[in-house]
Amino acid sequence: MKVAQELAERVGRAAWNAGISADLYKTTVGYALEHPFDLKNGDYATAIALQYASREGSNPRDFAKRIVEALGDIPGIAKIEVAGAGFINFYLAPSALTDTIATARGEAWGRNDANKGKKIMVEYTDPNPFKEFHIGHLMSNAIGESIARLLEFSGAQVKRANYQGDVGPHVAKAIWGLKKLGINAPDPAALGKAYSTGAAAYENDDGARAEIEALNAKLYDRSDADINALYDAGKKTSLAHFENIYRTLGTKFDYYFFESETAPTGIKIVREHSDVFVKSEGAIVYQGEKQGLHTRVFITSKGLPTYEAKELGLAQMKAEKWPFDSSISVTAHEQSGYFEVVLAAMREVAPELASKLRHISHGMMRLPSGKMSSRTGDVITGESLLAELVESAKERATDSRAEDTNALAEDVAVAAIKYQILKQASGRDIVFDRERALSLEGDSGPYLQYAHARAHAVVEKAREQNITGNMDTDAEPIELSRLLHRFPEAVEYAARELEPHLLTNYLLEFASAFNRWYANEQILDGSAGAPHKVALTDAARRTLKNGLWLLGIPAPEKM
């Protein structure tokens, strides 16, 4: 990192000396450095000469040469060359990489201070009590957890929040179903059945629909003791069930918000701003057309708040609970339209708060055959998927070295599902292929875990032989050590973009380099070079350990 900063500054100065304009200097300095995709083009590179020369009509290569001359010698850089159309490539010196290896063996490897001191709340997962924990919640959880950890690694103080829909028509449907089926002490499976019973009746039976709507109103005002008892029991069961899932997934929430709590606050905000929200067809709406959006209902004609009004209340309650600099909500893409409208309304009623809110939308999990639909039963719940993965991993774990193969199977299952979610850009849909998801090979979470376990085993064995890993400052740079050097920058990049997949991609490349190196190199070969190789292995182990942590994936030491 220090090398990179120094290099960026020097490139800027050299370009300045070589005749770059003040304007361009400002726009390029600090952004001028990049990592060549191909290591043969150096550890750092800059296209500054290409960018500048085109504006002058001069030859990019000549200009690049002038910059290189102005640069002179740079500590930590062994070679500077002009390549291609006018790129300037920098190659790290052995001593710089040795420093990197030493740093990489420490616990703090990969941390940065890009968000130092910032208070950031991250809201994610958001399952609804009385309904199943489905794959969308799994996606939100995996992405949200990783973002929270990336922000923590960049120095932010992070609070994890979970916002759950414990009131609304979906709950009324489930309660109605419970009554219909005569269930008084619901378990999670019974709740799922009750919900689908209620949902089907709501669509097909007018009488049932009226009953459900009446029930919904009673849930808001809590006027019926029998219903309250059923509701409280169902909610308790649901939440306890979700806690088990969070534990498996490795998430610990700081705050829980419920729609039943945000509703009154939301209604109050809407009612207090009659200049922003208007009556229309008996409902109170926000007319988003003036912002290029669409009109949405905030309070229904029956006087009940919609998700939109509750969201207003939620934002205010979050800020009261823990004053934050920024609050991030991770939800499915299908909600981004409504979120935009809520945000537009919020900008009018609470501009300062609105400016701190950020919405990240993730894609949907689709089946190869099309969209999942709970109506047709063509749906996979998050829990059933996890259970299947655990079974699959157990079969594979029979010849493993782990003491507890059940625990290992769970770690591997979590890795498999989270990796599949986190390896692609978060906004995109994921086409769910059961066979691929259950596969534990190739481009997968277990691949990263396996590389980590291997590195761990070697380090342990070296310790038994009292080889602590003294480094050779003249060791020739190799692919593995050069990629190692990029880890902190990959972390910072992923944190800046709030995109875990940028880190996932890096880790795959790194693990792949490690596995290649491992296959071709006897690390504990008794030679004078062994300690240095042990140090590099230890650095790789730490990189994979910290990298997996940032993805929210467990890193078992034995597989």
Partner RNA sequence: CCCCUCGUAGUUCAAUGGAUAGAACUGGAGUCUUCUAAGCUCUCAAUGUAGGUUCGAUUCCUACCGAGGGGACCA
Question: Could you say which residues in the range 372-431 bind RNA, by CB under 7 A?
Answer: 393, 396-397, 400-401, 408, 412, 423-425, 427-431
320 or 441: whose CB is closer to RNA?
441
158 or 555: whose CB is closer to RNA?
555
184 or 280: whose CB is closer to RNA?
280
Selected binder of RNA within 190, 227, 364, 475 (CB under 7 A) = 364
Least distance between RNA and beta carbon 197 (Å): 17
Least distance between RNA and beta carbon 117 (Å): 26
Selected binder of RNA within 5, 244, 280, 473 (CB under 7 A) = 280
Both tokens of 60, joined, read: 């990019």
Over the window 293 to 312, marking each residue x when it contacts RNA by CB under 7 A and - when it does not, the resulting string is -xxxx--xxx-x-xx-----
Q: SS3 helix, strand, coil % of the chain, rounded to 5?
A: 60, 15, 30
CB atoms within 10 A of CB 480: 24
Over the window 528 to 557, marking each residue x when it contacts RNA by CB under 7 A and - when it does not, the resulting string is -----------------------------x
Stretch that binds RNA, among 28-36, 105-113, 153-161, 177-185 (CB under 7 A): 28-36
Over the window 57 to 96, marking each residue x when it contacts RNA by CB under 7 A and - when it does not, the resulting string is ---x----------------------xxx-x-x-------
Our finding on whether 42 is near RNA (CB under 7 A) is yes
Selected binder of RNA within 4, 10, 11, 51 (CB under 7 A) = 51
CB 311 within 8 A of CB 257: no
Selected binder of RNA within 94, 169, 250, 531 (CB under 7 A) = 169
116 or 516: whose CB is closer to RNA?
516
CB atoms within 10 A of CB 27: 11
Both tokens of 495, joined, read: 């944190």
Stretch that binds RNA, among 49-57, 186-194, 218-226, 545-553 (CB under 7 A): 49-57
CA of 268: how far to CAs of 254, 274, 281, 298, 310, in Å? 26, 11, 20, 11, 10
Both tokens of 81, joined, read: 């060359």
Quickly list DSSP for 366-408: EETTEE-BTTTTB--BHHHHHHHHHHHHHHHGGG---S-HHHH
Residue 199 in 3-state DSSP? Answer: helix
Our finding on whether 524 is near RNA (CB under 7 A) is yes
Q: Which residues pair with 81 in a beta bridge?
A: 89
Least distance between RNA and beta carbon 245 (Å): 18
CA of 444: how far to CAs of 150, 421, 505, in Å? 20, 10, 11
Least distance between RNA and beta carbon 316 (Å): 17
Task: Please give the torsion angle defined by the CA atoms of residues 443, 445, 448 and 454, in that order, rounded to the nearest 10 degrees.
Answer: -120
Count the site residues for RNA by CB under 7 A: 104
Least distance between RNA and beta carbon 45 (Å): 3
Our finding on whether 157 is near RNA (CB under 7 A) is no
Q: Which residues pair with 121 in a beta bridge?
A: 159, 327
38 or 352: whose CB is closer to RNA?
38
Binding residues among 447-466 for RNA as defined by CB under 7 A: 447, 450, 453-454, 456-458, 461
Over the window 311 to 350, marking each residue x when it contacts RNA by CB under 7 A and - when it does not, the resulting string is ----------------------xxxxxx------------
Our finding on whether 358 is near RNA (CB under 7 A) is no
One-letter identity of residue 322: W
Nearest to 539 by CA among 92, 106, 150: 106
158 or 545: whose CB is closer to RNA?
545
Q: What is the 3-state secondary structure (H, E, C) of 308-344?
A: HHHHHHHHHHHHHHCCCCEEEEEEEHHHHHHHHHHHH
Least distance between RNA and beta carbon 73 (Å): 21
Selected binder of RNA within 281, 320, 352, 403 (CB under 7 A) = 281
Q: How buried is 322 (Cβ within 10 angstroms: 0-12 exposed, 13-18 middle, 19+ buried)?
A: middle
CB atoms within 10 A of CB 223: 10
Our finding on whether 261 is near RNA (CB under 7 A) is no
Stretch that binds RNA, among 187-195, 239-247, 367-375, 465-473 (CB under 7 A): 367-375
Our finding on whether 250 is near RNA (CB under 7 A) is no
Both tokens of 322, joined, read: 């823990």
Least distance between RNA and beta carbon 556 (Å): 8
Nearest to 535 by CA among 472, 491, 469, 480: 469
158 or 178: whose CB is closer to RNA?
178
CB 201 within 8 A of CB 208: yes
Q: How far apart are CA 490 and CA 46, in angstroms?
A: 18
182: Cβ–Cβ under 8 A, 6 or more apart, which residues?
A: none
CB 120 within 8 A of CB 151: yes
Residue 89 in 3-state DSSP? Answer: strand
Binding residues among 461-520 for RNA as defined by CB under 7 A: 461, 501-502, 505, 508, 512, 515-516, 518-520
Our finding on whether 23 is near RNA (CB under 7 A) is no
Selected binder of RNA within 145, 152, 259, 383 (CB under 7 A) = 259
Our finding on whether 559 is near RNA (CB under 7 A) is yes
429 or 472: whose CB is closer to RNA?
429
Residue 123 in 3-state DSSP? Answer: strand
